[in-house]
């Protein structure tokens, strides 16, 4: 049995993970919190086998929380689950003691695999960040997830371009000559496809993936 706790400031993502693992006999989620301070307290109380944590959170970020957890409970494994793919953020998280690093848009199947590997004491890395650190942190024994390709329609890509350039749903509907409700539906579908938490993360995704004109 893999016991774990999770820290994430977007409750929608927490709810999604809880729902997915609700009937999994191999994984037991002992608790969830929305900030780093509460994560350290929860880990001290429950002492799980595995911790899943975001990086940017209120009160205390995931990097500092991981340092404290690993200093007090070195046997507890830490898996980062975040939107940050910048090398500095990844390096700081790994230096803090995390042995797994996963991007939020990697999909629930890859998350399941990462949980299994990290809980066993192995390392696991998102394929979209792994090769930047192959020499320093990752070797031939490391587990690297296989990319689950997300296919967006041409219309969805058009809307992402406009989202990245600051357009509202109403403005997008006028530019593309479609109903605002249709734009809103496309937004919801993209959030689901990309395994994002909300509209703000969709905007960030659109900008980071260079959908701006």
Per-residue pLDDT reduced to its tens digit, 161-200: 999 989 999 999 999 999 999 999 888 888 877 778 788 8
Whether the per-residue pLDDT at 133 is higher than 70: the answer is: no
For tokens 């980071």, the residue is 208
Class of domain 154-208: mainly alpha
Supply φ then ψ for residue 108, to 5 degrees: -70, -30
The answer on pLDDT for 43 being more than 90 is yes
Q: What are the DSSP calls for 75-139, one per residue?
A: TSEEEEEES---HHHHHHHHHHT-SEEEEGGG-HHHHHHHHHHHHTT--EE-HHHHGGGTTTT--
Q: How many helices (H) and strands (E) does the chain have?
A: 10, 7
Q: By C-alpha distance, which of 104, 117, 108 is closest to 49?
A: 117
- In sequence order, the β-bridge partners of residue 33 are 7
Question: What is the CATH class of 2-144?
Answer: alpha beta
pTM for this structure? 0.66
**pLDDT of res. 74:** 95
Greatest alpha-carbon pair distance for the chain in Å reads 58
Every domain of the chain and the residues it spans: 2-144, 154-208
Pick the closest to residue 202 from 179, 154, 168 (CA basis). 168
Cα 89 to chain centroid, rounded: 13
Alpha carbon distance 46, 98 (integer Å): 19
Q: How many CA atoms lie within 13 A of 50 on its CB side?
A: 26
Residue 128 has pLDDT above 80, yes or no: no
Q: Is 121 exposed, middle or buried (0-12, 13-18, 19+ CB in 10 A)?
A: exposed
């Amino acid at each position: 049995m893999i016991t774990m706790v999770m820290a994430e400031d977007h409750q929608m993502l927490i709810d999604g993970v809880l729902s997915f693992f609700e009937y999994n006999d191999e994984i037991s989620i002992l608790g969830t919190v929305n900030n780093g301070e509460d994560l350290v307290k929860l880990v001290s109380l429950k002492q799980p086998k595995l911790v899943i944590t975001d990086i940017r959170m209120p009160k205390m970020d995931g990097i500092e929380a991981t340092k404290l957890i690993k200093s007090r409970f070195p046997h507890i494994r830490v898996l980062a689950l975040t939107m940050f793919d910048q090398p500095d953020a990844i390096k700081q998280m790994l230096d803090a003691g995390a042995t797994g690093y996963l991007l939020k848009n990697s999909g629930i199947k890859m998350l399941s695999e990462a949980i299994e590997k990290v809980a066993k004491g192995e390392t696991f890395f998102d394929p979209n960040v792994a090769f930047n650190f192959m020499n320093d942190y990752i070797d031939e024994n490391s587990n690297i997830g296989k990319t689950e390709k997300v296919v967006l329609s041409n219309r969805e890509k058009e809307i992402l371009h406009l989202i990245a350039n600051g357009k509202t749903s109403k403005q997008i509907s006028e530019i593309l000559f479609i109903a605002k409700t249709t734009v809103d539906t496309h937004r919801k579908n993209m959030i689901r496809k990309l395994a994002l938490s909300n509209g703000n993360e969709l905007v960030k995704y659109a900008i980071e993936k260079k959908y701006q004109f």
